[in-house]
């Protein structure tokens, strides 16, 4: 990829872009551009054949000025220390955009889970949880699911932590199964916020989502839920993809049908009468709305020049390289940034944590209402910063977030900030 960049450098560039519009001291910005600490562990795990394999795991705690570190755990062969650092930084800014009282963290293990049995994955996850135990906690650092992890892994981590600590602490992790202290609506929360962001931005642009054409790259948790909910608003989801390729039907696919097909066959490719495209072809389709929902750097500067979508709503974290972002801004493509668009995941994780701490659980309707009540006004605040300062929506989101982080630092003093 021509300008595939280190995601950590992308994050730092985004922070610098926003800092130019705010009066935040240089030493504070310097501290906000790198994690407070990173745990790196070599986990020795017994495989089913009795052999031992060593896998590399990370947890980055980026900043805790607004509350406990918060962020997911990813299992993917592409996980690196710098990727985890970048993802943990994006969490800091994401929590601040939607005013959730958390800082940012992120974890990952550099494995392809498809290479392991369920028993091996459980041993890997529990070994990681043992490493994490001293640094996580309900008021310290609260992991959650991300790519290739879900309720099952969260439950293993919670169970390991509680066993070692001889306590019950459901708020140590979010994204748990409902029976294990999870929240209604958490599984669908990220996709739901992508739908809410799409609805808000179309409204802002004076465009109709009903009848709009939509392409979604990545059909996992975030992408498939976003597709289904956007389709429910009357849009035509014409293309969806996963790592094996894309399914395209100009007359519209059935988002739920495509998900069932993936569950049955392992991929969206081959769904019904859809044509098979490459991911690159999907990303350059002439659609009203493009939702990248896979991984970082999906669109680089060269590909961006061929993007024909009018609006991009980022479900994935960091799907555009900085050069792609520049090319698309220059081409007047409206990009709703990840730190706003996919913030529903962490918002409902926050709801889950609040419910765990209170021991009192909310209905699905309450979750949906509270999520909407956070997402809609925060989106409008970002639009307003964008208009007032005449900057892109991404820079506006960072300015909005950085303002809140700066206020928190000011409130408790920079001594505490540098001593943490």
Instruction: Compute the least distance from the CB of residue 332 to ligand NAD, in Å.
Output: 25
Instruction: Compute the least distance from the CB of residue 145 to ligand NAD, in Å.
Output: 5
End-to-end CA distance of the chain, in Å?
38
Do residues 338 and 314 lie in contact, with contact meaning Cβ atoms separated by under 8 Å? Answer: yes
Nearer to ligand NAD, 394 or 417 (CB): 394
Q: Which residues pair with 41 in a beta bridge?
A: 57
Distance (Å, whole) CA 207 – CA 212:
9
Q: Which residues pair with 105 in a beta bridge?
A: 61
Burial of residue 275 (CB within 10 Å: 0-12, 13-18, 19+) is exposed
Nearer to ligand NAD, 24 or 189 (CB): 189
Q: Which residues bind ligand NAD (CB under 6 A)?
A: 145-148, 190, 217-223, 241-243, 279, 293-295, 315-317, 342, 345
Nearer to ligand NAD, 92 or 409 (CB): 92
**CA 54 to chain CA mean position, Å:** 27
Which residue is at the shortest CB distance from ligand NAD? 220
Contacts of residue 313, defined as CB under 8 A and 6 or more positions apart, other chains included, come to: 194, 197, 198, 201, 226, 289, 290, 291, 336, 341
Phi/psi class of residue 363: alpha, beta or left (left: φ > 0; alpha: ψ in -120 to 50)?
beta
Single out the catalytic residue among 106, 158, 176, 228: 106
Instruction: Compute the least distance from the CB of residue 242 to ligand NAD, in Å.
Output: 3
Nearer to ligand NAD, 19 or 320 (CB): 320
Active site annotation includes 106? yes
Widest CA span in the chain? 62
Instruction: Compute the least distance from the CB of residue 419 to ligand NAD, in Å.
Output: 31
Instruction: Compute the least distance from the CB of residue 239 to ligand NAD, in Å.
Output: 11
Distance (Å, whole) CA 202 – CA 334:
10
Provide the token pair at 184.
């209604």
DSSP per position, 372-389: HHHHHHHHHHHHHHHHHH
Instruction: Compute the least distance from the CB of residue 293 to ligand NAD, in Å.
Output: 5
Nearer to ligand NAD, 141 or 146 (CB): 146
Nearer to ligand NAD, 317 or 355 (CB): 317
Identify the residue whose tokens are 């169970």.
159
Q: Say if strands 104-109 and 52-63 run parallel, antiparallel, or are unpaired.
A: antiparallel
Catalytic residues: 106
């Amino acid at each position: 990829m021509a300008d595939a960049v280190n995601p950590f450098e992308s994050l730092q560039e985004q922070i610098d872009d926003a800092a130019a519009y705010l009066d935040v001291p240089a030493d504070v910005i310097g501290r906000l551009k790198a994690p407070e600490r990173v745990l790196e562990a070599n986990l020795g795990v017994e495989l089913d054949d009795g052999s031992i394999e060593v896998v590399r795991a990370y947890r980055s705690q980026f900043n805790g000025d607004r509350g406990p570190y918060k962020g997911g755990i990813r299992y993917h062969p592409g996980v690196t220390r710098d990727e985890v650092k970048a993802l943990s930084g994006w969490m800091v800014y994401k929590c601040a955009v939607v005013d959730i009282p958390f800082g940012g963290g992120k974890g990952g293990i550099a494995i392809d889970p498809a290479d392991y049995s369920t028993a091996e994955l459980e041993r890997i996850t529990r070994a990681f949880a043992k490493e994490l135990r001293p640094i996580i906690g309900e008021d310290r650092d609260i992991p959650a699911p991300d790519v290739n992890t879900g309720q099952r892994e969260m439950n293993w981590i919670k169970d390991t932590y509680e066993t070692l600590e001889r306590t019950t602490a459901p708020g140590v992790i979010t994204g748990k199964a409902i029976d294990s202290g999870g929240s209604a609506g958490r599984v669908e929360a990220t996709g739901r916020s992508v739908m809410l962001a799409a609805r808000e931005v179309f409204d802002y642009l004076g465009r109709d989502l009903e009848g709009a054409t939509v392409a979604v790259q990545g059909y996992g948790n975030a992408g498939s839920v976003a597709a289904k909910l956007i389709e429910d608003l009357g849009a035509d989801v014409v293309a969806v993809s996963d790592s094996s390729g894309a399914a395209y039907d100009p007359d519209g696919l059935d988002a739920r049908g495509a998900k069932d097909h993936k569950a049955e066959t392992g991929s969206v490719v081959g769904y019904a009468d859809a044509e098979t495209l490459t991911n690159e072809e999907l990303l350059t389709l002439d659609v009203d709305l493009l939702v990248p929902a896979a991984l970082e750097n999906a669109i680089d500067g060269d590909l961006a020049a061929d993007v024909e979508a009018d609006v991009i709503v980022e479900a994935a974290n960091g799907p555009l390289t900085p050069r792609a972002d520049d090319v698309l801004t220059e081409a007047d493509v409206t990009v709703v940034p990840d730190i706003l668009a996919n913030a529903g995941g962490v918002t409902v994780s926050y709801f889950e944590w609040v419910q765990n701490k209170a021991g009192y659980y909310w209905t699905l309707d309450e979750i949906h209402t509270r999520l909407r009540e956070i997402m809609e006004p925060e989106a409008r605040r970002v639009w307003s910063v964008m208009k007032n300062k005449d900057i892109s929506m991404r820079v506006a989101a960072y300015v909005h977030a950085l303002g809140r982080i700066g206020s928190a630092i000011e409130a408790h003093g920079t001594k505490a900030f540098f001593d943490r």
